[in-house]
């Protein structure tokens, strides 16, 4: 079969393309913005990429068009597909129909941390000899790819709450019908499609409804929004993870069942999975399960949030029979995902990072982990507000506080940004500068950085190649 994938350069659709190619299909695709690391992966797979959504970019002999959720009615390619009556599908439904049948699916959902947690869980299953399949919303350093079919029983999928396609407004994750689901956290996001947190909670409830009684829900026990989701109904055994018992919501439960009126645990119940931090930066911690310390992790990742991601992954691996104690040492070699506080390089004593930041909570926790590691060294952030929620201003009030640990923030305020960045820049604890384009941003950074600084580029888009362009400037190229 020959497929054309519209929106192929997105992290999810790029993974679908890789899986289709592995299944033996001929694959081509088009996108408006094609950039690394996904473009590199697709080119290495021999997939033909075409720039733009012109109808002529879709070959006439394609048997099926897989349409990403970034495309809507009015798009020229979409209109042509409909007018010609061609066969089309969504990426999530294609995955559910062609890859997941007969597998034990482990789905990782949450506002943030999905990609890292999906990768950790896949890595643990691989260390246990399970040879899992996976679809990750990024290129996993340890696997060199964002997706593979795998020969084992398990398939791990990053389970996004964003809608499926212009013709299917359900969240993508309801297609996956997982045996094990991680609910990592739940905050307001995707302001372009969700009016409030309650609308997102309803989608998470729909996901919970699909997990069988023999399965497992692995839930952040500190998150009150997730506790409220479980209170809407839960028919599956629940295991909680967390670090701070003072954050357990009053409505939290250790295990929930169908009518949600019985068998509630007290609000002060202990987490099933927790950790004792050995180093405050999160690079070393002991894992505790049901009150028993089962081993230590010493790994390259930083931050409390990554310790939480590890706990969720360990709980999910345990749920499918992995000996967690046996795989803990493997995390010492874990290399995570590209663009998750990825070190681009060091030049003139300046360390440069590329981070896929898109939400204030993720920004704050990432900077907290880095601050714990670098101590009093200066942290300089280059910020591009690119996600739909960011560009709509949904996170504007929370953005300045999330950057409190940065000494300097250079804020990319493109002319098309729909809100005034002045309030954010003026509310920063440290120095703040707004610039209109990436050329100016790089020039400002060059003027201000000095030896010993840590420069973090934060964007969930291509950022016009800014991290590597700045690194080249420092190298004199």
Going from N- to C-terminal start, the domains of the chain cover: 2-93, 100-333, 342-474
So what's the pLDDT on residue 406? Answer: 92
pLDDT tens for 311-353 read 999 999 999 999 999 999 999 999 877 677 788 899 999 999 9
Which CATH code of 3.20.20.10, 3.10.105.10, 3.40.50.720, 3.40.30.10 fits the domain covering 2-93?
3.40.50.720
Topology alike, domains 2-93 and 100-333: no
Domain 342-474 has CATH 3.90.190.20: yes
> Considering only 83-87, 269-273, 307-311, which range has the smallest mean pLDDT?
269-273
Confidence of residue 263 (pLDDT cuts 50, 70, 90): very low
CATH class of 100-333: alpha beta
SS (H, E, C) the chain: CEEEEECCCCHHHHHHHHHHHHCCCEEEEEECCCCCCHHHHHHHCCCEEEECCCHHHCCCCCCEEEECCCCCCCCHHHHHHHHCCCCEEEHHHHHHHHCCCCCEEEEEECCCCHHHHHHHHHHHHHHCCCCCEEEEEEEECCCCEEEECCCCCEEEEECCCCEEECCEEEEHHHHCCCCEEEECCCCCCCCCCCCCHHHHHHHHHHHHHCCCCCCEEEEECCCHHHHHHHHCCCCCCEEEECCCHHHCCCCCCCCCCCCCCCCCCCCCCCCCEEEEECCCCCCEEEEEECCEEEEEEECCCCCHHHHHHHHHHHHHHHHCCCCHHHHHHHHHHCCCECCCCEEEEEECCEEEEEECCCCHHHHHHHHHHHHHHHCCCCEEEEECCCCHHHHHCCCHHHHHHHCCCCCEEEEECCCCCCCCCHHHHHCCCCEEEEECCHHHHHHHHHHHCCCCCEEEEECCCCHHHHHHHHHHHHCCC
> pTM value?
0.79
| Residue-level pLDDT at 39 | 82
């Amino acid at each position: 079969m020959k497929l054309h994938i519209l929106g192929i350069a997105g992290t999810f659709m790029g993974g679908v393309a890789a899986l289709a190619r592995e299944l033996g299909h001929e694959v081509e695709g088009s996108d408006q913005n094609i950039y690394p690391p996904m473009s590199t992966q697709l080119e290495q797979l021999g997939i033909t990429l075409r720039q733009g959504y012109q109808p002529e970019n879709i070959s006439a002999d394609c048997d099926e068009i897989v349409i990403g959720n970034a495309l809507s009615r009015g798009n020229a390619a979409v209109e042509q597909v409909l007018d010609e009556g061609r066969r089309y599908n969504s990426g999530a439904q294609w995955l559910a129909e062609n890859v997941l049948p007969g597998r034990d699916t482990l789905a990782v959902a949450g506002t943030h941390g999905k990609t890292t947690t999906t990768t950790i869980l896949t890595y643990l299953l691989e260390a246990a000899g399970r040879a899992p399949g996976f679809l990750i919303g990024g290129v996993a350093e340890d696997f060199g790819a964002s997706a593979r079919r795998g020969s084992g029983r398990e398939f791990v999928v990053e389970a996004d709450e964003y809608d499926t396609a212009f013709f299917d407004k359900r969240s993508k994750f309801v297609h996956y019908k997982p045996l094990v689901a991680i609910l990592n956290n739940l905050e307001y996001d995707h302001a372009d499609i969700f009016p409030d947190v309650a609308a997102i909670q309803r989608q998470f409830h729909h996901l919970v409804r699909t997990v069988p009684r023999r399965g497992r829900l692995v839930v952040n026990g500190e998150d009150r929004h997730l506790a409220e989701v479980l209170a809407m109904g839960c028919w599956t055994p629940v295991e909680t993870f967390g670090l701070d018992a003072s954050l357990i919501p009053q409505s939290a439960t250790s295990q929930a069942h169908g009518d949600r009126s019985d068998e509630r645990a007290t609000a002060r119940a202990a987490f099933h999975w927790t950790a004792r931090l050995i180093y405050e930066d999160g690079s070393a911690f002991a894992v505790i399960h049901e009150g028993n310390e089962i081993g230590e992790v010493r790994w390259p990742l930083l931050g409390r949030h990554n310790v939480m991601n590890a706990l969720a992954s360990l709980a999910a691996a345990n749920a499918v029979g992995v000996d967690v104690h046996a795989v803990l040492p493997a995390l010492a070699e874990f290399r995570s995902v590209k663009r998750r506080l990825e070190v681009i390089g060091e030049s003139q004593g300046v360390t440069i990072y590329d981070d896929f930041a898109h939400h204030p909570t993720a920004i704050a926790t990432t900077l907290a982990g880095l601050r714990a590691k670098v101590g009093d060294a200066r942290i300089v952030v280059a910020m591009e507000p690119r996600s739909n929620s960011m560009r709509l201003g949904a996170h504007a009030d929370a953005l300045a506080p999330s950057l409190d640990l940065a000494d300097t923030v250079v804020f990319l305020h493109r002319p098309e940004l729909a809100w005034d960045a002045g309030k954010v820049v003026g509310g920063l604890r440290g120095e703040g500068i707004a610039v209109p384009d990436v050329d100016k941003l790089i020039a400002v950074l060059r003027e201000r950085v000095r030896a010993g600084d840590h420069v973090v580029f934060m964007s969930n888009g291509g950022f016009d190649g800014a991290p590597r362009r700045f690194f080249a400037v420092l190298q004199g190229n």
